[in-house]
């Protein structure tokens, strides 16, 4: 492979993309690249060290003529230490970022290089923007639909085509297999690829995917909307106390007291946050703070999910054990006055894409007005960015395999939404499990964090499924329980759940767990 370093020049590459025009291409070798790559940024892959690697960095800038866009794709092609394993691994983005400039995406690419993959990412034409405000509006009242379309889907297919072309130019052969790996926005991108571009990748790992985007992003604003409607903003310690009480009450519902709520539905049915109203002794800066009616109402609304003014459910909610005070129900209290601090992605969706006005005040909407905006978002954007189409038959017929996963303690994106999508796929396609498996992860937060570790062996299982036909019947996971002990457990393909074998004295070892298929 050493001779390839002399081929790492622009003249080696000649990417072609129908409907696009190449604006520029640069290629240069990167030598002695080293990095510690933590598994939390690789989602389905373990921690790895990149040591003295050499690869060719190829950066392609192109446009779709007539759309006034400029999209950058960046590929890293292994030359030596390690040499190329014959495969492509594309990595996804986060939040409003399609990939490229996100630090997490570059970390994931370093991990891919360490494992011998050629790897690629795209900026979807959004440049260095880490939020939507620099690109969402062409002018007040006018959304840049081409930019949104590029983020939503178009750049994803472009990226796959360009990446495979660069690989063939450089190595003289196409990749034997191509894979996608991402979480959150990256998970949504993976689901979109399976639905709309079934030939792009042989294997897709999609974590915490934002599937029902036009409803999902308003749901991030939902707890703030409830506080706005009630005109009251509880101290964060009230939410913390409610979450702690819910955890204590629901922990054992799955038959095991370990600091993890595994059965969210049972918890919602049995735990009543309003019973805590008036409780004192909280861990607050003001020792007189008690749990308020508002705090109970907001927690309850967050857990049961966004609903219309007429009480119609829109999306599932998040687990009572999830950290709402640190994510979607954020408030800031000073001098005895508390105010809401909404999450930027929810606010910008309402302001820029629905009201189409960056000065739009999201803090004084009635419930009916909030409903109207959600409905408008579905009307305008469902066909552009939502990934709720359950018909994966084309992906199945192309031989594709997909694994998705979602932490049950995800406090940003409701895990029930991903389960709902899998149910829809399985209802439409009875053979869904032959090509698609979903794993719900008790105790796992959004993409990383929580008591559960990430499913770090799942990508290897996906690759085995794609290349050898062996489906993942379970996947290992490490869990830190209440005592601080690290236990080795399993995750099971939804709707199966992991159960502790009664013959085991404790839950420490993986062999003590089995998948309940009843």
In a domain, 178, yes or no: no
Same domain flag for 109 and 225: no
Which of 133, 118, 186 has its CA nearest to residue 156?
186
Using a CB cutoff of 8 Å and minimum separation of 24, what contacts does 510-514 make? 510/476, 513/489, 514/490
Both 99 and 220 in one domain: the answer is: no
235 and 377 fall within a common domain: yes
pLDDT at 335: 80
pLDDT score, position 3: 77
Average pLDDT (188-216) is 97
Taking 70 as the threshold, does the pLDDT of residue 2 lie above it? no
Do residue 119 and residue 255 come from a single domain?
no
Report how far apart, in Å, the C-alpha atoms of 263 and of each of 22, 333, 416, 419 are.
Answer: 51, 33, 12, 13
Tell whether 155 and 221 lie within a shared domain: no
| Residues 92, 225 within the same domain | no
Domain that holds residue 55: 1-163
Mean pLDDT over 218-245 rounds to 96
94-103, 104-113, 356-365, 465-474: which has the minimum mean pLDDT? Answer: 94-103
| 101 & 20 share domain | yes
Q: What percent of the chain has pLDDT over 70?
A: 99
Model confidence at 1: pLDDT above 60: no
Give yes or no: residues 342 and 263 share one domain.
yes
515, with CB counted inside 10 A (0-12, 13-18, 19+), is middle
Q: How far apart (Å, rounded) are the C-alpha atoms in residues 446 and 437? A: 19
Residue 220 has pLDDT above 80, yes or no: yes
* pLDDT for res 102: 83
Q: What pLDDT score was predicted for residue 81?
A: 76
User: For all residues of the chain together, what is the average pLDDT?
Assistant: 95
The reply to whether 231 and 145 lie within a common domain is: no
- Examine residue 295 and state whether it is found in any structural domain, yes or no: yes
- Is 410 assigned a catalytic role? yes
In a domain, 314, yes or no: yes
For residues 81 and 111, the model is more confident at 111
**Catalytic residue chosen out of the listed positions 155, 165, 184, 243:** 184
The last residue of a domain, from among 382, 417, 445: 382
Does residue 184 have an active-site annotation? yes
User: Looking at the domain assignment, is residue 365 inside a domain?
Assistant: yes
On whether both 237 and 122 belong to a single domain, the answer is no
Q: Could you tell me if residue 299 is inside a domain? A: yes
> Which of 144, 163, 182 represents a domain boundary (last residue)?
163
Q: Are residues 150 and 288 in the same domain?
A: no
Rounded mean pLDDT, 402-427: 97
In a domain, 75, yes or no: yes
pLDDT digits (tens, 9 = 90+) for 326-366: 999 999 998 879 999 999 999 999 999 999 999 999 999 99
Would 152 be classed as within a structural domain?
yes
Assess whether pLDDT exceeds 80 at residue 223: yes
Q: State the total domains in the chain.
A: 2
Residue 361 covered by a domain: yes
Catalytic residue among 144, 410, 454, 456: 410
Q: Give the tens place of pLDDT for each residue, 109-142.
A: 999 999 999 999 999 999 989 999 999 999 999 9
The span from the CA of 302 to the CA of 328, in Å, is: 9
Per-residue confidence (pLDDT) for residue 256, from 0 to 100: 87
- What does the pLDDT read at residue 504? 84
Choose among 307, 315, 295, 306: nearest CA to 243.
Answer: 295
Which one of 64, 406, 438, 446 is the catalytic residue?
446
Residue 61, token pair as written in the block: 């800038």
pTM of the entire structure?
0.96
The 8-class DSSP code of residue 398 comes to T
Residue that is last in its domain, among 382, 416, 440: 382
Are 153 and 24 within one domain?
yes
């Amino acid at each position: 492979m050493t001779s390839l370093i002399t081929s790492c020049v622009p003249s080696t590459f000649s990417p072609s993309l129908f409907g696009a025009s190449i604006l520029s291409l640069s290629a240069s070798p990167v030598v002695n690249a080293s990095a510690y790559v933590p598994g939390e940024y690789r989602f389905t892959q373990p921690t790895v060290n990149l040591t003295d690697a050499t690869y060719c960095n190829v950066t392609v800038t192109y446009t779709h003529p007539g759309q006034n866009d400029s999209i950058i794709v960046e590929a890293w092609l292994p030359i030596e230490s390690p040499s190329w394993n014959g495969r492509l691994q594309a990595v996804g983005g986060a939040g409003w970022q399609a990939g490229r400039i996100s630090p997490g995406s570059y970390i994931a690419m370093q991990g891919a290089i360490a494992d011998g993959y050629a790897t690629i990412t795209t900026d979807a034409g959004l440049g260095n923007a880490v939020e939507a405000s620099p690109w969402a509006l062409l002018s007040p009242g006018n959304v840049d639909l081409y930019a949104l379309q590029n983020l939503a889907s178009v750049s994803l297919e472009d990226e796959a085509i360009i990446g495979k072309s660069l690989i063939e130019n450089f190595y003289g052969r196409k990749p034997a297999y191509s894979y996608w790996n991402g979480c959150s926005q990256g998970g949504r991108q993976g689901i979109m690829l399976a639905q709309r571009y079934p030939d792009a990748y042989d294997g897709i790992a999609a974590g915490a995917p934002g599937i029902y985007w036009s409803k999902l992003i308003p749901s991030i604003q939902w707890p703030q909307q409830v506080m706005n409607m009630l005109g009251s903003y509880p101290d964060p310690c009230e939410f913390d106390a409610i979450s702690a009480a819910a955890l204590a009450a629901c922990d054992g519902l799955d038959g095991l007291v370990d600091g993890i709520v595994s059965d969210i539905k049972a918890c919602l049915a049995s735990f009543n946050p309003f019973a805590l109203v008036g409780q004192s002794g909280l861990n607050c800066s003001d020792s007189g703070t008690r749990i308020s009616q508002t705090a109970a109402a907001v927690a309850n609304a967050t857990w049961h999910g966004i609903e219309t003014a007429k009480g119609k459910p829109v999306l599932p909610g998040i687990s009572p054990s999830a950290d709402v005070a640190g994510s979607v129900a954020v408030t800031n209290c000073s001098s005895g006055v508390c105010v809401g601090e909404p999450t930027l992605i929810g606010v910008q969706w309402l302001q820029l894409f629905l009201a189409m006005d960056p000065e739009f005040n999201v803090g004084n909407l009635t419930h009916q007005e909030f409903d109207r905006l959600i409905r408008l978002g579905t009307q305008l954007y469902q066909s552009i960015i939502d990934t709720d189409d359950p018909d994966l038959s084309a992906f199945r017929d192309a031989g594709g395999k997909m694994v998705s996963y979602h932490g049950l303690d995800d406090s940003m994106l409701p895990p029930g939404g991903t389960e709902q999508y899998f149910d829809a796929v399985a209802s439409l396609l009875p053979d869904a499990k032959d090509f698609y498996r979903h794993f719900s992860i008790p105790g796992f937060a959004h993409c990383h964090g929580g008591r559960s570790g990430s499913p770090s062996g799942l990508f290897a299982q996906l690759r085995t499924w794609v290349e050898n036909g062996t489906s993942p019947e379970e996947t290992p996971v490490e869990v830190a329980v209440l005592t601080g002990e690290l236990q080795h457990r399993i995750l099971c393909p939804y709707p199966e759940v992991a159960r502790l074998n009664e013959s085991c004295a404790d839950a420490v070892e993986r062999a003590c767990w089995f998948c309940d298929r009843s």
